[in-house]
Amino acid sequence: MLRLKTPKSEMNTGGLKKGSWSREEDQMLISYISRYDIWNWSQMPRFSGLSRSGKSYRLRWMNYLKPSIKKDSFSKEEDDIIIHYHSILGNRWSAIASRLPGRTDNDVKNHWHAHLKKRAIDRYNLTPKITAHDDDSDEMIQQPTNHVNKNFESCVSPDIDTFLSCITTTSTGQEVDFRVGYYDTGSPGTVNELQCLWHQLCSENMDHEKYHMNVF
DNA sequence: AAAAGAGGCAACCGCCCTGTA
DNA sequence: ATACAGGGCGGTTGCCTCTTT
């Protein structure tokens, strides 16, 4: 769906056009890339005839024009994948999008805020603001942001078996306590809440007994 | 039928990381 | 070791469309 914003937003700013892209601009960008390929985003505007910033070029291509991008609505499976990886990675949209062929980080981010955020909270009773369960010693998630442990991130794969196999040994060979060491580095919930999430995801989508035993 | 509000999403902004000179 | 440029990323904005009143 091509939606154009108002002419107001197309005002020139510092000589560079901003706002929505016209069909003509899209066509020019597609033609240029198909002919010369992507070689330097910041220099391309000088040669392609469009007065936009290189960043704007890149964004338009990566989020909209690239042929591999899927334009249809998200499937339930994709929704589940997003919820699943968001519980692990937090707001690392590009990392989540990399698990969804044809989807961009912007797509995933918008879809999360529009549809999945509320669903995830309702469905799994997760709350962005965490309250203490027992006492001050409870493992608390302070910020639901991108504070994912690099080692953990590196072992997360699209395949759940591989993922689970990495729980006790990271890619660096480090022994890891899955239940304590990583879930409290940026995911939107307490350890207990995220265990609950995993439990339910496993129940719905996988062989419950197998994964339940492996994880908990 | 018109107005108001909500939702959806494209696009921008600014920060950060990485590579190079 | 440092500075700079390019690119990537997450947060946010603002316009358009749809729905409700």
In strand B, the nucleotides that come within 7 Å of a protein beta carbon are 7-14
Q: In one letter, which amino acid is A216? A: F
- What's this model's pTM, rounded to 2 decimal places? 0.62
Residues A160, A164, A165, A169, Cα dihedral to 10°:
140
The residue lying closest to nucleotide B9, measuring its CA against C1', is: A110
pLDDT tens track of chain A, all 216 residues? 333 333 333 334 456 788 888 888 888 888 888 888 888 888 888 788 777 888 888 888 988 888 888 888 888 888 888 888 888 888 888 888 888 888 998 889 888 888 887 776 665 555 443 333 333 333 333 333 333 333 344 344 433 333 333 333 333 333 333 333 333 333 334 444 444 444 444 343 433 333 333 332
Q: Which of A126, A103, A187 is nearest to A153 (CA)?
A: A187
**How many residues are listed for chain A in this entry?**
216
In strand C, the nucleotides that come within 7 Å of a protein beta carbon are 5-12, 14-17
